[in-house]
Chain A
Amino acid sequence: MARIDLVDLAHSYSGNDAPPDSFALKPVTMTWRQGGAYALLGPSGCGKTTLLNLISGIVTPSRGKILFNGSDITPLSTQKRNIAQVFQFPVIYDTMTVGENLAFPLKNRGVPKAEIVARVKRIAELLDLAPYLNRKATRLTADAKQKISLGRGLVRSDVAAILFDEPLTVIDPELKWQLRSKLKALHRELDLTMIYVTHDQTEALTFADTVVVMHDGRVVQSGTPAELFDKPAHTFVGYFIGSPGMNIVPAHVDGREARIDGHIIGLHRNYGVLPSGAKIEIGVRPEFVDIAPPASGLLSATIERIDDLGRIRFARVRVGDSKFAARVPPGFSVPDNMAGLVFDPAHVHVYADSRLVEGVA
């Protein structure tokens, strides 16, 4: 049980003297609550696995500190940290039975035999592995093997946090849901801090109560799934989360007005002072842009195609040089390819150099 603090933590695989831009993980300071369910979300190569390996101690940071409950554990080896980690591919010890696999971490730590038996029994029941305790672990399916790797972490009573490194990659789709809800249930039951690395937004948003989005070695936003959806702090979060992603178009912003392609869109807040020389863009999710018949007050667009997602339809349109995705209201049909766009001003955000600008109400 622990709160984990990262203090100015950074890492470069080519040493501390490497140019700051080449760092796999740029300096980050943040806190992971005791008992939180976190997802580390980002595309491949964004530094999320590096961050995970720094916390578990597999990688030693070039810079900064890691605190567990306030005490500095940066120099401690993986063995001495109370951390469990589940890897992308199930790691099981081939020659051992399921029971021996689960007992392995306790045996290595010299736990008394009676206690080992009791812990293994409890964890096996928790993970529905009890019927297989005497089977050779190699004979099981991938999801059962992944449960064993998880069980080896849970079996230790001292574990502060469990780290997952894309643990469902090799699991069949229908089993993914089962295993993920199992993880949620375990999280509720055991009050453990869980950090879950993934590049799949559905996985992240369904698992976690706090999603940490990473991009190019930086933590760009951390918040609840709703916050990430409603108010992306960075244009990257905008288009990485949501399907289709956020519309981000260059615009001219002045006070409560944004100008795109000569057309004026009303804004909910006042953006009086914008950083000069910055690249100004507005971002709006396709869910908050509606297609309407062309009219004089609307931004006019050319429809390129319409994607029917079953319950909802999105139109891909072109306005001048920029592309938009917009919602097609039910029952709407356009005579020709011309349409107007209706914006919901409350959900139009302004970005300066890719970062969200908070306007004044």
Chain B
Amino acid sequence: MTTQHQGFSAEVARARTIRYTWWLAALAVIVVISTVRLYTGADRITAPGTLRAAIIGACPILLAGLGGLWAERAGIVNIGLEGQMLLGTWGAAFFAYHYGPLAGVLGAALMGLLGGLLHAIATVSFGVDHIISGVAINIVGLGAIGFLAKTTFDDLEGGGPRNLSGYSTPPEFTVPLVADGARSLADRNWFIISDVAGAIAGVTTRLSLLTVLTFVLVGVTAWVLWRTSFGLRLRSCGENPQAAETLGIDVYRYKYVAVLISGAFAGLGGAYLAMVASSSFTVGQTGGRGYIGLAAMIFGNWRPSGVLTGSLMFGYTDGISLLSNSGVLVHALLLLVAIGLAVFAVLKLRAAEKITAAVMAGLSIGAFVWYFSSDSVNTSFTGMTPYVVTLFVLAVFSQRLRMPAADGQQYRRGGAG
């Protein structure tokens, strides 16, 4: 009894240590960022405006990533996120123009859901290869909104054959006191304090309700998938559908629900692009963010907190590429990347993974050389960041990543036993 008790308290202590380590790591990251900011003089790294742009860049990616998470947790790979997002942009513009912003958001989710339904019918009911169906949906999605825009927006005021503006968007609000206080602190350029204040000011200024909804949905996703029996059953369909079937779970139904939710999330991502990131609709304005969402999900190891981290990181690079004269800013970030890689190299060396450590160290040196031999980085490279980072993570940490065991596999009812 005593040993058991001791084992339990040791576990609690270890959990506490892990949490403590995380906080310490977060603090270290902030210190490094702040130091880099002071050293390079690129104060805009943590300026409220930059972080606001980062949040706006992150949200569509986050919604797409969560959409991918829902589908893949039930074992369906959803490459069609891009197409479903595109459908969402049209849905948002159309319904918001005619019936107001709330209808716009719902309409976008509905259009995404329709795209998801198509994917579910093909992959779940007919057992079609998930990737093929996704590619087809992306082709159909782009064609559909091109057709729909010409048909429904051409004659409207503020509309054209490929665009629409002049619809109302979800309300924005600024948190009183906090936003102003944080902003004035951020302007002082103090070590650490101003960086944290910049982040707070960026988050609390002109905050769209849709942004709030996005972050709430992260929590909802995590809670539903990991804390409810519905979520457990849904995930069991992604891990071992045959076993789930023997336990009496209607696997088809769970897969359908998951893919429909996935499509709706992607549609919301489209709404965010057409209503918050910009206030007008253009054909093809997703620019591959569905795929970046997929990348964020893989980067995040198929977990909501990971998707959030990945989206914020990718959103930051996406957001700053829109700022003026961002080459200098990206150049400063290069130093950050170099330091980060060096830290990883040391960690890997301590874990006795010599080859990985050597590769990391090499890349780190390369980044340092690049940093000190140039004054500015072409913004093309910023847009590329999510893809390069994901490739890098896949190549280096592929052993650490764990996707749902039956992800992407065909499942047919009655296959068990």
Do A and B bind? no
